[in-house]
């Protein structure tokens, strides 16, 4: 354990690996839900799309109230395991059990099924908040170094990409394997398997990651003034808005990709190709983003990545109806090349978001002489969930607006789905670029001396078991 006056030590590979695994543990359930819960509710359980969209929207909007409560709880928590780690330990099992329940809607009346869907989905969100908010709050407690935080952000992106691979590419093959033609049974056993993986990852997070730097302020503080300070933190506001728009776009594309592939392009086999490409992009970006962003700064790096992404997305729209390329006797749709490159460039920004969330804590300390890692992390969690809520609901409402009928998809419905798939993400990417231009901490050196003199940051006094 380093003293407050000594240079911060570098994190071990095991600690970075375990930190990245934490995102796998928390994201696997949400990525599977984001990719397939709309399909599961509408095609397997046969619930109406507009009702499902309302469930997604209302359940996640409630997180705007719930998440700050967990953030405040983290800032007030003091245990022998630290402030964040107890939440990983005590929420892991309930989170996994509720995840399994979400994809096991009983065969009862439609009204009862809708109520069950809302309650289980909301419980999943609550339990995710109870773990993911402390998880985000952990990074600024682990290290003060921006380069180390970028590495942790890269490790977290790897965990995210693995969760997307499992939650998208592996889901339907596993459903077919376990179900043997029974989709409900297949989804149930797939969630059991994924739940076991998530549980192992969360226990590794608890076991191997440590809090080394903490706010020495008293755990009792007035919540409303603290929230007011958070809303005056420019770095946090930029991170919140940037993250919100990212996950609105992600939710729209994740929800519509299945329908875009099978109904617009007319090639259902593209579903297990396009969805994993998102995770492939995340995985590659996890390695290339830290050195790029360290060199360019978060603001310029994100704007550049978004500009390239928009060009690639436009190129995809230009070729999505083109004849397949013949490669070694296999027909390959030309849209896959710009789509995969688009997945890489947009994924650079998610590594930036993880780092921005930690940097916003330093900015808060400089501006308000306190850190409140839990409260600030809860705000970012709200942006993630509300963004996914709006995006998922927009996808569902888009299907309802198009009068989507899985048994008889009209040409008008196909045209509406295609328009939504391209137009909404493009607009959202443009708004992201505008917001990140306001990021205040690319020249972090001018804050360092002030942060060092502000007082409340201390090295943790002991390694906690």
Give me the residue spans of the domains in the chain.
Answer: 13-459
Q: Taking the model in full, what pTM does it have?
A: 0.75
Which residues neighbour 241 within 8 Å (Cβ) at sequence distance 6 or greater?
383, 435
- Is 80 exceeded by the pLDDT of residue 278? no
Query: Domain 13-459 carries which CATH code?
Result: 1.20.1250.20
- Which of 431, 442, 186 minimizes the C-alpha distance to 297? 442
Distance, in Å, from the CA atom of 330 to the CA atom of 332, rounded to the nearest integer, reads 6
Distance, in Å, from the CA atom of 249 to the CA atom of 451, rounded to the nearest integer, reads 35
Element (H or E) spanning 113, and its range? helix 110-142
Q: Which tokens sit at 74?
A: 């983290």
- Mean per-residue pLDDT over the chain, rounded: 86
Angle at 228 between CA 247 and CA 57, to 5 degrees: 30
Q: Are strands 330-332 and 457-459 parallel, antiparallel or unpaired?
A: unpaired
Within its chain, how far is the Cα of 418 from the centroid? 24
Between 422 and 331, the more confident residue is 422
- Is 80 exceeded by the pLDDT of residue 461? no
Grade residue 169 by pLDDT with cuts at 50, 70 and 90: confident
Instruction: Say which range, 121-125, 156-160, 319-323, has the weakest mean pLDDT.
Output: 156-160
Residues 76-98: what's their mean pLDDT?
Answer: 91
Cross-strand pairs, 331 = 326
Q: At what angle do helices 13-39 and 146-164 cross, to 10 degrees?
A: 40
Q: Is 329 exposed, middle or buried (0-12, 13-18, 19+ CB in 10 A)?
A: exposed
Within its chain, how far is the Cα of 43 from the centroid? 25
pLDDT in tens, 331-383: 899 999 999 999 999 999 988 998 898 889 889 888 888 888 888 888 888 88
Grade residue 456 by pLDDT with cuts at 50, 70 and 90: very low
Grade residue 100 by pLDDT with cuts at 50, 70 and 90: very high
pLDDT in tens, 110-156: 999 999 999 999 999 899 889 988 998 898 888 888 788 888 888 88
Instruction: Say which range, 13-22, 24-33, 52-61, 419-428, has the weakest mean pLDDT.
Output: 52-61
Grade residue 188 by pLDDT with cuts at 50, 70 and 90: very high
Per-residue confidence (pLDDT) for residue 416, from 0 to 100: 93
Distance, in Å, from the CA atom of 251 to the CA atom of 246, rounded to the nearest integer, reads 9
């Amino acid at each position: 354990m380093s003293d407050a006056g000594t240079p911060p030590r570098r994190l071990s590979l095991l600690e970075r690996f375990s930190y990245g695994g934490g995102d796998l543990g928390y994201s696997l359930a949400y990525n599977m839900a984001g990719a397939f819960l709309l399909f599961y509710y509408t095609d397997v359980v046969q619930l109406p799309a507009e009702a499902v969209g309302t469930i997604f929207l209302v359940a996640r909007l409630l997180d705007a109230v719930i998440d700050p409560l967990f953030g405040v709880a983290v800032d007030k928590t003091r245990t022998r395991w630290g402030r964040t780690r107890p939440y990983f330990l005590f929420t892991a099992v309930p989170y996994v059990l509720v995840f399994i329940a979400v994809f096991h809607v009983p065969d009862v009346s439609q009204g009862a099924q809708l109520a069950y869907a809302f309650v289980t989905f909301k419980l999943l969100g609550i339990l995710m908040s109870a773990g993911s908010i402390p998880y985000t709050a952990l990074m600024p407690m682990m290290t003060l170094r921006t380069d180390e935080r970028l590495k942790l952000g890269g490790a977290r992106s790897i965990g995210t990409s693995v969760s997307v691979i499992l939650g998208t590419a592996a889901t339907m093959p596993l459903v077919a394997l376990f179900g043997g033609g029974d989709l409900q049974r297949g989804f149930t056993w797939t969630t059991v398997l994924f739940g076991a993986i998530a549980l192992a990852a969360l226990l590794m997070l608890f076991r191997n990651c440590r809090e080394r730097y903490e706010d020495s302020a008293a755990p009792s503080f007035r919540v409303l003034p603290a929230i007011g300070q958070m809303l005056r933190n420019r770095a946090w506001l930029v991170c919140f808005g940037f993250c919100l728009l990212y996950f609105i776009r992600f939710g729209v594309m994740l929800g519509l990709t299945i329908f875009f592939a099978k109904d617009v392009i007319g090639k259902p086999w593209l579903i297990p190709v396009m969805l994993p490409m998102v995770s492939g992009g995340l995985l590659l970006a996890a390695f290339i983003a830290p050195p790029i962003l360290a060199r360019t700064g978060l603001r310029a790096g994100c704007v550049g990545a978004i500009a390239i992404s928009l060009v690639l997305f436009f190129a995809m729209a230009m070729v999505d109806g083109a004849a397949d390329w013949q490669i070694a006797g296999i027909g390959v749709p030309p849209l896959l090349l710009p789509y995969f490159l688009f997945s890489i460039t947009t994924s650079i920004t998610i590594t930036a978001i993880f780092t921005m969330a930690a940097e916003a804590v330093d900015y808060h300390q400089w501006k308000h002489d306190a850190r409140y890692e839990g409260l600030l992390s809860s705000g970012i969690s709200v942006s993630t969930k509300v963004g996914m809520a709006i995006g998922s609901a927009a996808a569902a409402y888009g299907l309802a607006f198009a009068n989507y009928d899985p048994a008889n998809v009209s040409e008008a419905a196909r045209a509406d789905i295609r328009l939504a798939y391209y137009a909404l993400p493009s607009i959202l990417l443009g708004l992201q670029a505008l917001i990140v231009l306001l990021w205040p901490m690319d020249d972090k050196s001018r804050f360092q001396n002030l942060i060092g003199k502000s007082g409340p940051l201390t090295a943790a006094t002991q390694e906690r078991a």
